[in-house]
Structure 1
């Protein structure tokens, strides 16, 4: 994954994202679509996983077959909305180790405030995928990746559903070594720090809160 920003340009991703953007999409439908789209995004984000080979026995004969190399992947969810992406990715990679970083955005300053952190061990030996549906100002994502790096992670990818140009620029400035994978790059942020046209507050739409 050589470039800093990868937009997953797949017809199913585009279609599902359009349904998620619609204001009248129900909580149940939104949640299911996010699970489905996260599988497709995870497929892209794991494209460059390293492989080794192992000798196995098929019903017909022995063979050398490819298998993932090294420690299990680490998935780190930025609470609470990150959990919506996490569920779908775990269906694809059920053996992954999972961590959580709790951040909320101060409504006045738009700066992240950390309230929880629990991360897997041996991050320096794992590919680490940090997930949050929205890359808006980039402040929470930058802070979460700061934490993950302090814990030892070196091979990190940030996975989100939607990104704003401001957030991408902030991430590139703070963490130029962390590629971003997203379903869409939207126009801008509004005065409240929301992505436009966006899809509203992802956490509220996943969990049915206001």
Structure 2
């Protein structure tokens, strides 16, 4: 199986991404726009979810109508920055189950180190959507997805706001069955492994910590 990178080029997504990139965008505005953008990205990543039919009563007559099939969707947030995308995703699918993976990047090796992991049950029966605003080196995404597969997850997609070609290559090479959904693939990484031109550190901009 060969994974695909889907770049969401909807005009609203691209406009909102431009606002997020601006250094003068305030913390409160950044959170607001990120949440709106996450909802739009969520619309695209859930476009082909499986459906079944059920019998209902409208005010006028019975009918067979489509509803989502199987166990409820699971969103997995890579902490801490993933929380910024998670909120918008839950606006779209409030009944979804939520998992969290806590990872930090070792400043020397740039490898992802896990400090927290909590998931809903029956991951093997759920569509799992992993969210993290930035796909830079790809190490955090790879670590999170590897752990999810160890816990039984079989149907996984990854959603980010921005990606670097280096991170895309690493994720596709390590997990060739996981599609990526993003608003843009930027030029690459700088010497500190930040995406350029990018938008800075997403976690710091969400929480005003820098």
Shared fold (TM-score greater than 0.5)? yes
Q: Secondary structure at the match of 2:28?
A: helix
TM-score, structure 2 length as denominator? 0.98
Task: Look up the match of 2:142.
Answer: 142
Residue in structure 1 matched with residue 32 of structure 2 by the alignment? 32
Q: Counterparts in 2 of 1:81-100, with a 5 A limit?
A: 81-100=81-100
TM-score by length of 1: 0.98
Query: 1:3: how far off?
Result: 5.0
Q: Tell me how far 1:4 sits from its aligned partner.
A: 1.3
Give 3-state SS (helix, strand or coil) of 1:160's partner: strand
Distance in 2 between residues matched to 1:10 and 1:182, nearest whole Å: 11
Structure 2 residues not aligned, in runs of 5+: none
Offset from partner CA, 1:13-39 (integer Å, 9 cap, x none): 000000000000000000000000000
Provide structure 1 residue ranges, at least 5 long, that are not aligned to the other structure: none
Whole-Å separation in 1 of the counterparts to 2:74 and 2:201 = 26
Secondary structure at the counterpart of residue 67 of structure 1: strand
Give the secondary-structure state (helix, strand or coil) at the position aligned to 1:157.
strand
Residues 102, 114 of structure 2: 8 Å contact kept: yes
RMSD: 0.8
Q: 1:8 corresponds to which residue? A: 8
SS of equivalent to 2:48: coil
Shift of residue 106, structure 1, vs aligned partner: 1.0
Equivalenced residue count is 209
Report if the CA contact (8 A) 2:3-2:177 is conserved: no
How do 1:28-107 residues align onto structure 2 when only pairs under 5 Å count? 28-107=28-107
Contact (CA 8 Å) 2:3, 2:178: kept in 1 or not? no
Alpha-carbon distance in structure 1 between the residues aligned to 2:107 and 2:21:
23
1:44-75 Cα offsets, whole Å, 9 max, x none, are: 00001000001111011111100000000011
Deviation sequence 1:85-142 (CA, Å, 0-9, x none):
0001001101111000000001111111111000111000000000000000000100
Moved over 2 A (4+): none
Counterpart residue number, 1:113: 113
For 2:157, the equivalent position in structure 1 comes to 157
CA contact (8 A) 2:187 2:197 kept: yes
3-state SS, counterpart of residue 142 of structure 1: helix
SS for the counterpart of 1:183 is strand
